[in-house]
Structure 1
Amino acid sequence: MKDVEQFESKNPANMPEENEDMPLCQFIVDNGSLIACHNSSSIYLVQRGHRHLIPNAKVYDALFVSRHLVHFIGKRQLDSIPLGIPLSENACLIKGNNTDPVYLYSNEAKSHIRSAEDFNHAGFDWGKIHNLPQKEVDNITTIRDFIVEQNNKVVIKTNDIPVQYDADNNYGVLTQFTCKCKERDVTCNILLPSEKCRKGCEEECKEEYPVLYLYHGLGINSEWIHSDQGRIKQIIGNMVCNGLIPDMIVVMPDMMYSGTETKAYDFYRFKASLKELMSYVEDHYKVKKGKGNTAIAGLSLGGTTALYNAYLFKDTFRYVGAFCPTSILLYQPSRGITEPWIPKEEDFVLGTGEEDFTFIANGTADCSAGDTPKFYSRALRENGSDNVFALLPDGGHCWTTFRKLFYVFMAFDFFRKR
């Protein structure tokens, strides 16, 4: 790209040639950053854990406010970052004339830039946004949100979560069913957009819905639906009414055997019943099938189990969420874990497709999970699985935190609602 040599202290000409014996300082490569090798003029935009070539100066200037945004790194570090699809020659910033969201448009698809703060941190240029007819924007394929990190994490701000996010809302139908699996009977709470979502009912609807499998922690399954705890009906209802997510089916299985003394082990062996449960749901409810329409998430030990099940069934879940996941998944002797569910850390890999999305989050005051969520996130990155790690300031291991982290997870481009 032209004019790269104009960068001041970062000028590649001022940097020594890289050799095998030279210790190079490793730059933390965040999603949303601009990087280049100090002996090359090629500049890349990092997104989804991949580096995407910016083809020329014209494309760069159509997006970014300054040429002083690029971080120069060593060739070895650059080569360690997987190469993604280059930005297209017509890449630009767009928005509809009836809505606020701004998108990065490239390769005939749009990626939602989640906030003005993210827009500024990435160095995008407000003066370069193209205002288009809303219908034209709506007809463009939506891909994953544009992620902006700082030191490999997303810090959740107060304004990321509306005050009324869990206010009372009369959404859907909350009911219960029991699935007879080989291992055991699994009782589930299920949230439906309407009674018409049941197959075979008198007024069965034609529409099919994506499905989220949502796990509880070491408490009880009813906590997700309790008005003082999970408030799942209210959160989903408010997000649907505000156009943030589409109508969906939420399945909340009871992870534990009645009266068992080995609760944690029940979570581990739930894997034996999961596929049978999913088949039951698909047979009895109007579910959109396929990986792109299926999500899994959970809190505390349920979050750990969601990660474990996503690891076991990589081709099943497109969206994975773990809120304050606890230790047991990987070898962590510092936390007393010497017989983990996944014996080898290097085997811990989730879906690596362009649209696969893994969200791991924690509160900064969570003494129960501690640094385990960050450890899981880092292990995934090192194994080639991109993920979003988010922190909620002052969040503890409690329902106030779980609800907010669930909202943030759902607020990403979930099931392509835009």
Structure 2
Amino acid sequence: MIKNLLLSLIFLTVLSIAVQAQEALFGAQQIISPEVHDDASVTFRLLAPKAQSVQITGDFLPTVKMETPRGTFDGPGKADLTKDDKGVWTYKSEVLKPELYNYSFIIDGFTTTDPNNPFLIRDVASATNIFIVGGGHADLFKVNDVPHGSVTRRWYDSPGLGMDRRITIYTPPGYENSKDSYPVLYLLHGAGGDEEAWINLGRTSQILDNLIAEGKAKPMIVVMPNGNVIQDGAPGEGSKGFYKPQFMVAKTMDGTYEANFKDIISFVESNYRVKADKSNRAIAGLSMGGYHSLHISNNYPNMFDYVGLFSAAIMPREDATGKIYDNFDGKLKAEMDNGYKLYWIAIGKTDFLYDANKEFRAKLDAMNMPYEYVESEGGHTWRNWRVYLTEFAPKLFNQ
């Protein structure tokens, strides 16, 4: 009798938990957020009946000036959601231009992600939701019905750094079943990034798949290393385990990375079918990665025919003591005299590095060093860097 009673209680408890779980599951499914409408406006929803206020912040909203320890930046604005009698908060945007956008909710002053949107990106230590409004260049950020390349995470030996290190590599559609050799783009991240940055935030594989399918870019291998030389892999992916990512870590811009970059090239050219010559190598990077690309290319003038500086961090640094930075002007002239096919510079009009890039271009002009220059709207953002990749990649390996 007691045994049967215990079994009945256990059954009822399990049943109650299952019912509650199903209610939570199906209750959550009743809310669609974000909902992209046919007219390119977007509705956001959040079930929070006890909340006193809910706001949304994202890069689809008008920008505001933000004061940070690193200076004044343009940041995303905020908008209020309205609450209905069921406790659902709603906000409908204006008609948005084609773009990949990110956003977060602010509930009673606490910033958090949208529980109804499982699609997130991590930028340094911040996780935000994303959505795409299609059309125009934003279609290059989507997974379309085209042949797809492969993305692998490999580990390479870096004798110069004394460790095995994680690296992300994109190979173009058909690589595995082909005997062809391919050109290589080395694509470098900015401060706070790692080997996950370009593939996740930059949509590299989607962009390359789509450009190659449209015949706008040559099939190429894209190598995305980790520029933080004290790490063997991204936070959570390396031997240090789970820890909070930092914007700047030690030794990121002191010359160590540039001095040991050949370890990466040696690994790629020993393990992949590549065209291992100057005319089939390109290097580009954003912000800190642009700084690295600048110095790697002028220290190894016979290595790359294509150089891309995306919002490059061209500025003097107190920790830039490595020999890699010696005789900068002389190395630039040697790079120019040695010859290259493309030196490409791009930056947004409101980027905090705009003046530094303007001064650098003046230096190049004074020495008659050829380059192509793109000036876009906006600031120091992934929105610009994704577009720069869509414009830079078609220029590679065609000359």
The TM tier, using the shorter chain, reads 0.5 to 0.7
Q: CA separation in 2, counterparts of 1:179 and 1:242?
A: 33
> Shift in Å at residue 301 of structure 1?
0.6
Aligned to 1:266: 252
Which letter does structure 2 place at the counterpart of 1:209?
Y
Which letter does structure 1 place at the counterpart of 2:252?
D
Q: Is the 8 A contact 1:295 1:320 kept in 2?
A: yes
- Asked if residue 243 in structure 1 is aligned to residue 215 in structure 2, the reply is yes
- Asked if residue 402 in structure 1 is aligned to residue 385 in structure 2, the reply is yes
Aligned to 2:38: none
Within 5 A, what are the aligned runs for 1:274-353? 274-328=261-315, 331=316, 342-344=325-327, 346-347=329-330, 348-349=332-333, 350-352=335-337
- Asked if residue 165 in structure 1 is aligned to residue 147 in structure 2, the reply is no
> Shift in Å at residue 194 of structure 1?
4.7
Asked which structure has the greater CA Rg, the reply is 2
Aligned to 1:362: 347
Which letter does structure 1 place at the counterpart of 2:183?
P
Q: Is the 8 A contact 2:301 2:338 kept in 1?
A: no
Within 5 A, what are the aligned runs for 1:88-167? 162-167=137-142
- Asked if residue 209 in structure 1 is aligned to residue 185 in structure 2, the reply is no
> Shift in Å at residue 274 of structure 1?
1.3
Unpaired runs of at least 5, structure 2: 1-135, 232-239
Q: Is the 8 A contact 1:293 1:318 kept in 2?
A: yes
Q: CA separation in 2, counterparts of 1:360 and 1:264?
A: 27
Which letter does structure 2 place at the counterpart of 1:269?
T
Structure 1 residues 285 and 386, CA gap change in structure 2 (3 angstroms): same
- Asked if residue 377 in structure 1 is aligned to residue 325 in structure 2, the reply is no
Deviations 1:108-155 (A, max 9, x none): xxxxxxxxxxxxxxxxxxxxxxxxxxxxxxxxxxxxxxxxxxxxxxxx
Structure 1 residues 278 and 376, CA gap change in structure 2 (3 angstroms): same
Q: CA separation in 2, counterparts of 1:327 and 1:264?
A: 19
> Shift in Å at residue 388 of structure 1?
1.2
> Shift in Å at residue 379 of structure 1?
1.7
Q: Secondary structure at the match of 2:354?
A: coil
> Shift in Å at residue 382 of structure 1?
2.2
Q: Is the 8 A contact 1:315 1:351 kept in 2?
A: no
Structure 1 residues 345 and 383, CA gap change in structure 2 (3 angstroms): farther
> Shift in Å at residue 389 of structure 1?
1.9
Structure 1 residues 382 and 192, CA gap change in structure 2 (3 angstroms): same
Structure 1 residues 382 and 354, CA gap change in structure 2 (3 angstroms): same
Determine what percentage of the aligned residue pairs are the same residue.
Answer: 29
Aligned to 2:68: none
Deviations 1:363-407 (A, max 9, x none): 00112x1312222222223234211121002x2101001111222
Structure 1 residues 181 and 241, CA gap change in structure 2 (3 angstroms): same
- Find the partner of 1:233 among 182, 205, 216: 205
Higher strand share: 2
Deviations 1:234-273 (A, max 9, x none): 1111110111111100000011122798636334211232
Unpaired runs of at least 5, structure 1: 1-160, 198-202
> Shift in Å at residue 354 of structure 1?
5.8
Name the Cα RMSD after superposition: 2.7
Deviations 1:283-311 (A, max 9, x none): 11010110000000000010111011001
Aligned to 1:140: none
